[in-house]
Amino acid sequence: MKECQINTLYTLSETIAADLFQDLSYPWEALPRISDFICELGKRLSPDLFEQRGENVWVAKTAKIAPTAYLNGPAIIDEGAEIRHCAFIRGNAIVGKGAVVGNSTELKNVVLFNKVQVPHYNYVGDSILGYKSHMGAGSITSNVKSDKTLVVVKNGSQEHPTGLKKFGAMLGDEVEVGCNSVLNPGTVIGRHSNIYPLSMVRGVVPPDSIYKMKNEVIAKA
């Protein structure tokens, strides 16, 4: 599944968490490592650029944190990021440079690359969002199957067991997700692809595609 590999989906120079992925093939393999990685990286961050706010929470001095936002560690909020009113950083979250986490948005066990936007009423859990990816208002990742079985990534006739019970979505660089869409467990969306509003997505969406519905995915012109 080359379409799902880290170097196919992501620009690693666009995240403070590049070392998290160095010895891995698929991005979801990083999910169980996020917590420990944050705790180790946080200790090495420059005190000239970052300040520690509570246990295992590091916030860049140039980040904007609304007074009603809640930050639970482990977490790193990188330079120039904006955490807006009533955002809930539940833990195990890396928010990249210039990223936006909006009102009533919840993050849990995630990596947001630089310039990611999850600005309105989003739930992002057990997921990795690539550089400049954007989730429209009300769009969410569903990170646990209803029958609680382990997640398998499916790409046509190909299947890749992940061994994970919790796995939301892997969004490549510059993916656009339309408002009120649901990204089901095991979703992988290739770089530069667009998801129509109100979509229910599962499996692998190729790069440079437009997802209209399950059986209507077209290549961009």
Q: Give 111's contacts (C-beta < 8 A, 6+ positions apart).
A: 15, 17, 20, 30, 34, 93, 94, 96, 128, 129
pLDDT attached to residue 201: 98
Give percent of the chain above pLDDT 70.
Answer: 100
Provide the pLDDT confidence category of residue 56 given band limits of 50, 70 and 90: very high
Rounded to an integer, what distance in angstroms lies between the CA atom of residue 210 and that of residue 163?
29
Rounded to an integer, what distance in angstroms lies between the CA atom of residue 198 and that of residue 180?
5
Average pLDDT of span 35-63:
97
65: pLDDT strictly greater than 90: yes
Provide the pLDDT confidence category of residue 66 given band limits of 50, 70 and 90: very high
Average pLDDT of span 103-127:
98
Kindly report, residue by residue over 128-149, the tens digit of the pLDDT.
999 999 999 999 999 999 999 9
Provide the pLDDT confidence category of residue 92 given band limits of 50, 70 and 90: very high
Q: Are 1 and 170 in contact (CB under 8 A)?
A: no
Identify the structural domains of the chain with CATH numbers, from first to last: 2-219 (2.160.10.10)
Average pLDDT of span 171-190:
98
Average pLDDT of span 16-24:
97
Give percent of the chain above pLDDT 90.
Answer: 96
Average pLDDT of span 58-75:
98
pLDDT attached to residue 35: 98
Q: Maximum Cα–Cα distance for the chain, whole Å?
A: 51
Provide the pLDDT confidence category of residue 1 given band limits of 50, 70 and 90: confident
Average pLDDT of span 103-123:
98
Classify burial at 9, counting beta carbons within 10 Å of its beta carbon; exposed 0-12, middle 13-18, buried 19 or more. buried
pLDDT attached to residue 221: 84
Mean pLDDT of the chain: 97
Residue-level length of the chain: 221
191: pLDDT strictly greater than 90: yes
Residue 215 burial (CB count, 10 A): 5
